[in-house]
Structure 1
Amino acid sequence: MNDMQDPQPSPSAEVIRPRRKGIYILPNLFTLAALFAGFYAVVMAMNGRFDLAAVGIFSAAVLDSLDGRVARMTNTQSTFGEQMDSLSDMVSFGAAPSLIIYEWALQGLGKLGWLAAFVYCAGAALRLARFNTNIGVVDKRFFQGLPSPAAAAMVIGLVWVMDDMGYKGVEHIAWLAWTAFGFTVYAGLTMVTNVPFYSFKDVSFKRTVPFIVIVAIALGFAVVAYDPPRVLFGLFVVYGVSGYVVYAIRKSKGTPVSVIATSTEEPDEKGLHQ
């Protein structure tokens, strides 16, 4: 009986290699644009144009809110896009705001100034890392801690308002430098708390709404356009403290304050994994 041997592939046989995955252009264009806006903001701050630096950060926030929605609407989500988005966020809402606020006011406080800027930068990095690891177990209706775009808007909104009011050489104005210090530390620490901030992710743009809602949106655009620095700064300051209000209300009612679900079986955690 002849021995059975495994057939050997012929030299001419074609080796099948796994197909390389491409990169979706559309959502990553928004991400790259947000990254450019953050980099632009730093360059403008280095040249003393803090008004344009603020515009860059707020533009990055708008673009960052669009890339994920565009990816979901066009079914072009990818692991590459998620990682690219996180890196862009770290630049635009972590490193850039900390450098801008330091250049604008904190350098006059010496070591405390750059430590405050570092607290903000580290808070943004930790918040983004935690968001990526907890994304599957967090109540989608709330953010765990202040989201980094809102934190950046709070800090840079202060810069924009004061620059628009004519304050220059802020590092030599003690009360304003310490105000910037307080905003920077508050935003940095609030990003890494467990305080719930409403995410607006349960708002559907596919549902019909009454006509008055469209009128209200149009009026909202008009109010923002009337005085962008003050209106946007005011909105994000209110949002920046809203999480603590929600936390206090939940605590007073005895309802769970954490947005992290550890089990899908507990009645109080119903819906957190949906």
Structure 2
Amino acid sequence: MNRAAPGAPPRHFSMLREFRLADFFTLGNAACGVGAVLLAMLYMASQSRVHFFLAAALAPAAFVMDVLDGRIARARHEHSPLGRELDSLSDVISFGMAPAALGFAAGLQGGWDAAILIYFVCCGVSRLARFNVTAEQLTGATGKVSYFEGTPIPTSVVLTGLLALAAWQGHLGDALWGGSVELGPWELHPLALLYALSGSLMISKTLRIPKL
């Protein structure tokens, strides 16, 4: 481990100099997620389905960026702690917050819906934090992580795809698939249970998904 000479000032961390090519694709992932959130908000103001479709389309775009950053990092042997943290933070935005925002914009606005959407995002954050902590323990003889514990957070693109299909068929807002039910003081749209299922699968300890 390199140490600075006694009395020497600590080495300044230059973020730009630490960036690798893969990191810019990771930031592209984050940009897609932020764009999706903003477009979901714009849809709520405009009620233009064009804005909804654009928000949904940014989910697969973020997924492509997420796949490319990993492949580029492996091809160029440029793994770094900074890259790993960037990847997790970007995934939280694109595959956690963005699908939740799109679900809310689509009509999941009951009290129970909001609680489930919060649960979904918290599961995604917890799943990524667990992976960062346990990645070394999950590393096989090849030096690579051989499997995921729980479903990877990018699987939430399936939820975004379902919402895009619902929008295409005109099933948003009051016409949302499954309708709604009153449970105690709050309203629940059964469609929100898919978010609860997705979040629960992310934090599963027993579910192991081979990493290709």
**Which category describes the TM-score, using the shorter chain as reference length?**
0.7 to 0.9
2:209 to 176, 181, 197: 197
Letter in 2 for 1:60: A
- Contact between 1:158 and 1:180, CA under 8 Å: does it hold in 2? no
1:163 to 164, 167, 173: 167
The residue aligned with 1:183 is 194
- Contact between 2:123 and 2:203, CA under 8 Å: does it hold in 1? yes
Is 1:93–2:95 an aligned residue pair?
yes
Letter in 2 for 1:66: L
Per-residue deviation, 1:24: 2.5
Unaligned runs of 5+ in 2: 1-6, 44-50, 181-188
Question: Aligned equivalents of 1:154 and 1:141: distance in 2?
Answer: 23
Per-residue deviation, 1:51: 1.2
Find runs of 4+ consecutive structure 1 residues off by over 6 angstroms: none
When the two structures are superposed, what TM-score results if normalisation uses the length of structure 1?
A: 0.61
Output one character per residue of 1:148-202: Cα deviation in whole Å (capped at 9) or x when no partner: 001x212111101111223233x454615634212111101110002112321xx
Question: Aligned equivalents of 2:83 and 2:67: distance in 1?
Answer: 14
- Contact between 2:103 and 2:163, CA under 8 Å: does it hold in 1? yes
The residue aligned with 1:210 is none
The residue aligned with 1:216 is none
Per-residue deviation, 1:120: 0.5
The residue aligned with 1:263 is none
Letter in 1 for 2:208: P
The residue aligned with 1:38 is 33
The residue aligned with 2:147 is 142
When the two structures are superposed, what TM-score results if normalisation uses the length of structure 2?
A: 0.78
- Contact between 2:177 and 2:191, CA under 8 Å: does it hold in 1? no
Question: Aligned equivalents of 2:66 and 2:179: distance in 1?
Answer: 30
Secondary structure of 1:47's aligned partner: helix
Question: Aligned equivalents of 2:92 and 2:176: distance in 1?
Answer: 29
Question: Aligned equivalents of 1:68 and 1:18: distance in 2?
Answer: 31
Question: Aligned equivalents of 2:100 and 2:82: distance in 1?
Answer: 26
Larger Rg: 1
Question: Aligned equivalents of 1:75 and 1:19: distance in 2?
Answer: 24
- Contact between 1:154 and 1:183, CA under 8 Å: does it hold in 2? no
Question: Aligned equivalents of 1:199 and 1:183: distance in 2?
Answer: 24
Question: Aligned equivalents of 1:60 and 1:45: distance in 2?
Answer: 15
- Contact between 1:39 and 1:92, CA under 8 Å: does it hold in 2? yes
Secondary structure of 1:106's aligned partner: coil
Unaligned runs of 5+ in 1: 1-14, 201-274
Per-residue deviation, 1:17: 5.2
Q: Which has the higher contact order (CA 8 A, sep 6+)?
A: 2
The residue aligned with 2:133 is 133
Per-residue deviation, 1:101: 0.8
Output one character per residue of 1:38-93: Cα deviation in whole Å (capped at 9) or x when no partner: 01111111122221111111111110111122112112222111111111111111
- When structure 1 is superposed on structure 2, of 126-135 and 174-183 the one drifting more is 174-183
Letter in 2 for 1:196: R
Question: Aligned equivalents of 1:28 and 1:149: distance in 2?
Answer: 17
Letter in 1 for 2:164: W
Letter in 2 for 1:131: F
Question: Aligned equivalents of 2:171 and 2:177: distance in 1?
Answer: 12
Letter in 2 for 1:47: L
